[in-house]
């Protein structure tokens, strides 16, 4: 199935009332992963914008909010007044030190707090920026922590890599920890 065909299916899924109700028959969480070839990143970004515009109309009763993990990290760094220090740290201490410092800073709680503070009355969550924030934050870590906070709102993680229902493989190169609780939003067939 082409990337455009798969993206069109997202629209159909979001329109389905069963999707918006949050939990399935087996009481499973409604976390979904839309995996895609990283070469389609710009096409996927355009479709995300289009989906948000389309479902903005009241007739759909879908209120989508996008959380770009990379942008959250930068915004929190600015709020904590360490954003400028990041660049200084890279210059004076080097990449290895910066990597360690950012990994220590980018704990799941800062993302969970930000999402919970900003979710408002939205009833669909898009998680993006997964590739941009790697290796500081891992997808399975975000999903594991988010499932403890959100259980009634469908979450779609847009994932530039492969998800087979168990394994996450970012960019087709970096295997993440297994994550079993999310469903593949649209399969490749």
8 within some domain: yes
Q: Which of 152, 182, 183, 185 minimizes the C-alpha distance to 22?
A: 152
Given this model, what pLDDT does residue 27 score? 52
Contact 136, 75 (CB under 8 A): no
151 within some domain: yes
The pLDDT-based confidence of 86 (bands split at 50, 70, 90) is confident
Enter the DSSP assignment of 124: E
Domain span at residue 49 reads 3-68+123-184
91 within some domain: no
Q: Is the pLDDT of residue 172 over 80?
A: no
51 within some domain: yes
Enter the DSSP assignment of 126: E
pLDDT tens-digit series, residues 6-50: 999 999 999 888 888 765 545 567 899 999 999 999 999 999 999
pLDDT tens-digit series, residues 88-140: 877 888 778 877 888 888 888 999 999 999 999 899 999 999 999 888 888 88
Give how many domains the chain has, as a whole number.
1
- Give the mean pLDDT of 54-74: 88
CA 70 to chain centre: 10
Q: How far is CA 147 from CA 10, 76, 172, 185, in A?
A: 21, 21, 25, 17
Contact 129, 68 (CB under 8 A): yes
Q: Is the pLDDT of residue 178 over 80?
A: no
74 within some domain: no
105 within some domain: no
Contacts of 155 (CB under 8 A, 6+ apart): 30, 31, 32, 125, 127, 143, 146
Contact 126, 156 (CB under 8 A): yes
- What is the distance in angstroms between the CA of the first residue and the CA of the last residue of the chain? 5
40 within some domain: yes
CB atoms within 10 A of CB 47: 21
Q: Which of 122, 116, 124, 120 minimizes the C-alpha distance to 20?
A: 124
Q: Which helix (H) or strand (E) is 158 found in, with range?
A: strand 155-163
At 11, phi and psi to the nearest 5? -55, -45
């Amino acid at each position: 199935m082409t990337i455009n065909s798969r993206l069109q299916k997202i629209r159909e899924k979001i329109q389905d009332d069963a999707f918006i109700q949050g939990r399935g028959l087996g009481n499973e969480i409604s976390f979904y992963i839309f995996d895609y070839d990283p070469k389609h990143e710009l096409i996927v970004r355009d479709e995300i914008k289009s989906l948000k515009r389309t479902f903005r109309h009241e007739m759909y009763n879908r209120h989508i909010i996008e959380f770009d993990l990379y942008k959250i990290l930068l915004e929190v760094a600015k709020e904590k007044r360490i954003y400028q220090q990041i660049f200084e740290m890279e210059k004076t201490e080097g990449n290895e030190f910066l990597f360690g410092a950012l990994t220590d800073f980018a704990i799941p709680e800062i993302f969970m707090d930000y999402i919970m503070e900003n979710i408002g009355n939205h009833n669909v969550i898009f998680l993006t920026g997964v590739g941009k924030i790697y290796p500081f934050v891992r997808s399975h870590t975000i999903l594991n922590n988010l499932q403890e906070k959100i259980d009634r709102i469908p979450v779609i993680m847009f994932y530039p890599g492969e998800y087979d229902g168990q394994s996450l493989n970012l960019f087709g190169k970096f295997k993440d920890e297994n994550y079993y609780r999310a469903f593949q939003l649209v399969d490749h067939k």
